[in-house]
Amino acid sequence: MKNLLCFGDSNTYGYDPENKSRYDFDERWTGILSRELLALGIHVDEEGLCGRTTDFEDTYRSGRKGSDVLPLLLESHTPEVVIIMLGTNDCKSCYNNTPLTIADGVKKLVGQVREYSSRIKILLISPIHLADGVGEEDYDNEFDESSVRLSRELKSAYYAVAQKTGCEFLAASDYALPSAADREHLDKKGHELLARAIYNKLTKAVCV
């Protein structure tokens, strides 16, 4: 049986923006994907963490820098396929990032996977967009309107990384929108739509 590692942030963790808890396993995109792929002999390993970035240190929470933990997770899960979907938290205003600096963080993660094993297939996913007003009062003030614009520029930046590094590519923003509840996270429908898109990509271009 093949192992598929899903490496991401709160939208891989399955954060529920309605009640600030976690969607059940069969409601989040990783769980839906797991159910569909099991018949193909593929086991899905979830590694989603709220606040995780590609390559940037969180001022308030430790262990959020993705490049610090990915090598360890590759060793513990020994995957044949890796999905990387990060970048939303990199858009926080405190980082003063650009599409290029975030893309460099993604490229570093891809390099870590390649260093562990050149045989691993990688699906690089650019995240959903942040919605207008995400940084307003009662939402998430770690973001501002420049964060929204930045999130909308990640698709092309990630596609360039995928082209240069030989990864398969998918833009989550082509299939799912942020929830109206917090303008940042997937709702249940978004998880379903994203799972379907990833399944189609995996079965057509990655796993078979």
- What amino acid occupies position 21? S
Judged on CB neighbours under 10 Å (0-12, 13-18, 19+), 59 is: exposed
H or E element at residue 200: helix 188-201
Fill in the DSSP letter of residue 81: E
Instruction: Give pLDDT tens digits for 135-192.
Output: 899 899 999 999 999 999 999 999 999 999 999 999 999 999 999 999 999 999 999 9
- Tally Cβ neighbours within 10 Å of residue 149: 14
User: How far apart are alpha carbons 191 and 176 in whole angstroms?
Assistant: 8
Provide the 3-class DSSP secondary structure of residue 199.
Answer: helix
Chain-centroid distance of CA 127 in Å reads 6
Looking at 3.30.70.2860, 3.20.20.100, 3.40.50.1110, 3.40.50.620, the CATH number of the domain 2-206 comes to 3.40.50.1110
Contact of 78 with 3, CB cutoff 8 Å: yes
User: How far apart are alpha carbons 18 and 182 in whole angstroms?
Assistant: 8
Rounded to 5°, angle at Cα 181 from 175 and 182: 85
Sign of the C-alpha dihedral computed for residues 30, 189, 167 and 49 taken in this order = negative
What pLDDT is stored for residue 208 in this prediction? 52
Where residue 2 falls among pLDDT bands split at 50, 70, 90? very high
- Tally Cβ neighbours within 10 Å of residue 115: 10
Nearest to 194 by CA among 128, 130, 123: 128
Instruction: Give pLDDT tens digits for 30-82.
Output: 999 999 999 899 999 999 999 999 999 998 899 999 999 999 999 999 999 99
Nearest to 106 by CA among 62, 149, 155: 155
Instruction: Give pLDDT tens digits for 91-141.
Output: 999 999 999 999 999 999 999 999 999 999 999 999 999 999 998 998 999
State mean pLDDT over 11-27: 97
β-strand partners of 168 = 123
Where residue 207 falls among pLDDT bands split at 50, 70, 90? low
The larger pLDDT score, comparing residue 40 to residue 207, is at 40
